[in-house]
Every structure is written in C-alpha cells, then in structure tokens.
Structure 1
Amino acid sequence: MAEVVVELASLVAQAGAKVAFGEKVDVDGATLVPVALAIYGVGGGQGPAGSDDAGPLGSGGGGGSLSVPLGAYVGREGTVRFVPNVVALLFVSIPLTIVAGRALARIARALR
C-alpha cells in the first residue's frame, strides 16, 4: 500500500506548473494561457502487521483533487494582462473571508 501512495505523490509533484497553467491557445489574434488553482491530496493506511488479535487487519487509501479555473493571461499586440474568472474568484475568496473573520473574532475575544 505504501508504494502506491509514494508513486501517486511523485506523479503529482512531477505535474507542477503544467497543472496550474494550461497550454496556450490562439484565438482571434490573441494568445490565451488558462490559469487554475490545483489542489491534490493522497493518503493511505494499514493495520498492525502480525497482530495477535483474531480481528481482521485493515488497510486503505484514497485521494482527491480540486481544480478551480482562476482566469487567463491574454496576450495581444505586445501586452499581457490577466483576465479573472469572477465566479471562481468568489468561490475561492468567500470561504477565505469567513475563516479570516472567525479567526479575527477569536483573537479579539482572547485579547479582552
């Protein structure tokens, strides 16, 4: 089981910027490079080997990923600008704002 987890982790590490930045695309004289926030996680577990218990030994594993399209870099006539995906930015910023607000409230309560 451990070998599978190590292999998956190495595949994710090799992906690097290829995951966050897509292949460039030419559209109507402009060059677009899509940008995404990519998060991956893998894990595994195994029960105690050689246990004297009569119960079953367990093992397991799992993984998951999340990719949020943040926007695209648009190059046209020698200039490059970032065009955000407003819906995705709200998707990312709303939970961050909630967590930051709760953290600040706890800090303020602790300082009283």
Structure 2
Amino acid sequence: MTNLVVKLAENIGTMGVKSAYGEPVTIDGVTILPVALVQFGFGGGIEGDGDPDAEAGSASSSGGGGGGLSVPVGAYVTENGRARFEPNLIALLAVGIPFLWVAGHTVSRVIRAFKR
C-alpha cells in the first residue's frame, strides 16, 4: 500500500499545469489548446484495536481511496496569429445556473432582512 501511495503522490505532484491544459492540436492552420478544471482528492487511514499488548498486525485494518474530477471549460484557439478563448457552453451553463439560483436566493434573503 505504501508504494502505491508514493507512486500516486509522485505522479500527481509532477502533473501540475499539464492536467489543466491539454496537448495543442493543429487542424487546417488553427491551433486548439483544450482547458479543463481539474481536482483530485485522496485519503487513507489505519485503525487499530487500542490494545498495547496485542501483536503487531493483529486486529487492525487499513484503507484508502481517491477520486478526481475534470470539467472541460473551453479551449484557446489560435488563428492567423490571434488567440481567443472559446468557452464550453454546456460547462458554463452547468456552473452558471446553480450559481445564479444561489445568488438570487441570497439577495432575496438580504433584502427581506433589511425590510424588517
């Protein structure tokens, strides 16, 4: 288990910007660089029985887990020497609609509180 954790830490630690920006692709003279929002999480633990006289490794357990999320937010498109960002509209709507609902709900609560 220890070797797996060390390998994961090494691989994710070296990814950095590479995980958020994809490899550039050139199609018909247009260069496209995909961009994503990337998040990783890992955890692990060991549980023992608390008996100091117990043999090492008896009545103890360990475990771990992890996960990741990658949301494509858009792409940088370079054409004729000019670069522009083109957002992924589906991802923008998926993030924007809940944000607007929460913001509207919060503003209505603040207004209601000031009226009292």
Mark yes or no: TM-score above 0.5: yes
State the distance in 2 between where 1:12 and 1:93 align: 29
| Number of aligned positions between the proteins | 109
State the distance in 1 between where 2:60 and 2:102 align: 39
Give the aligned partner of residue 88 of structure 1: 91
**Does the 8 Å CA contact 1:73/1:83 hold for their aligned counterparts?**
yes
> What runs of 5+ residues in structure 1 fail to find an aligned partner?
none
Larger Rg over CA atoms: 2
1:76 paired with 2:64, answer no
The normalised TM-score by structure 2 is 0.74
State the distance in 2 between where 1:14 and 1:51 align: 38
Letter in 2 for 1:81: R
Letter in 2 for 1:36: A
> Which region of structure 1 is more displaced relative to structure 2, 73-82 or 52-61?
52-61
> What runs of 5+ residues in structure 2 fail to find an aligned partner?
none
**Percent identity (aligned):** 50
The normalised TM-score by structure 1 is 0.76
Cα 1:42–1:97 change in 2 (3 A) is: farther
For the aligned residues, what is the CA RMSD?
Answer: 3.1
